[in-house]
Amino acid sequence: MQNIKVAVDAVVFGYFENKELHILLIKRNIEPFLDSWALPGGLVKNEETLEEAISRELHEETGVKTTFIEQLYTFGELDRDPRNRVISVAYLGLVNPKSYDLKASTDASDAQWFSINNLPNLAFDHLTIVTKALERLRTKIQYQPIGFNLLKTEFAFSDLESLYQSILGRDVDRRNFRKKIMSYNLLIETKNLRKEGSGRPAKLFQFNQEKYQSLEQQGFYFEV
């Protein structure tokens, strides 16, 4: 006789301009791991789908709703939860942190963004889940333009460059990176400028999502 519970966990990445990639964590207000930091998530209700469960848990515990979230991996080690056997279906999400005011509720007493390079000790096997999510993100951002989900609607090209460097954890060849991105003709140059330091104002761009989707249907392959 099986006695297995199913949970969902959200690995939500956010990017602050000219800073490191961050991840959204909650502080647990229940045992086990009381007052420890963890990924937003919880048990799936009988009457809801996995997608409904992850959206509900994420919004309840952090106040965040993301337009980009996809299934990452299933974690089912026997001892991953000290209470009982729990299988977790993890999801990867991307948001612009400045679009949300974090609001902890239900099982969370707090919600905060943490740099991926300075994470606190995490409850359960959540560090393993985060590691898997970061590996997926670093791979996927090189063949699908998901990074634009982390930027503002209008952004300077330097923002995009800094974002890729932060996610990949290494420098990119600025000249070749710009040449390749611009060759896809997926950026719309706006009439707006942004002052950056003592130099001349930087042009602001928008990502042409409709054009990308149209090209993708024709077999277009994005690669950086």
224 lies in some domain: no
The whole-number pLDDT of residue 1 equals 81
Does the pLDDT at position 46 exceed 90? yes
* Contact yes or no for 119/24 (Cβ under 8 A): no
Same domain, 128 and 156: no
Same domain membership, residue 122 and residue 43: yes
Phi then psi for residue 99, to 5 deg, are -85, -5
End-of-domain residue from the set 140, 157, 189 = 140
From start to end of 62-186, where are the E strands?
68-75, 86-95, 108-115, 155-156
Confidence check: pLDDT of 16 > 90: no
Is residue 34 located within the same domain as residue 11? yes
Provide the domain limits for residue 197.
Answer: 146-217
**Pair 119, 20 in one domain:** yes
Query: Does residue 125 share a domain with residue 38?
Result: yes
pLDDT band at 220 (very low <50, low <70, confident <90, very high): confident
What average pLDDT does the segment 82-89 reach? 96
Tell me, yes or no, whether 188 and 134 share the same domain.
no
CA–CA gap between residue 43 and residue 99 (Å, rounded): 27
Pair (173, 66) in one structural domain: no
Q: Of 140, 155, 183, which marks where a domain is finished?
A: 140
End-to-end CA distance of the chain: 49
Quote the pTM value. 0.93
Residue 174: per-residue pLDDT: 92
Same domain, 124 and 168: no
The CATH number that applies at residue 198 is 1.10.10.10
Q: How far is CA 2 from the centre of its chain?
A: 34
Q: Which of the listed residues 121, 140, 159 is the one where a domain comes to its end?
A: 140
**Average pLDDT rounded to a whole number, residues 54-66:** 96
On average, the pLDDT of the chain sits at 94
pLDDT single digits (tens) 149-202: 999 999 999 999 999 999 998 999 999 999 999 999 999 999 999 877 677 889
pLDDT the model gives residue 2: 83
Nearest partner of 41 among 62, 23, 57, 53, judged by Cα? 57
79 Cβ neighbours under 8 A, 6+ residues apart: none
Residue in this structure with the two tokens 């359960």, named with its chain if needed: 124
Same domain, 45 and 23: yes
User: Do 30 and 128 sit in the same domain of this protein?
Assistant: yes
R_g of the chain, CA atoms, integer Å: 19
Other CB atoms closer than 10 Å to residue 186's CB: what's the count? 19
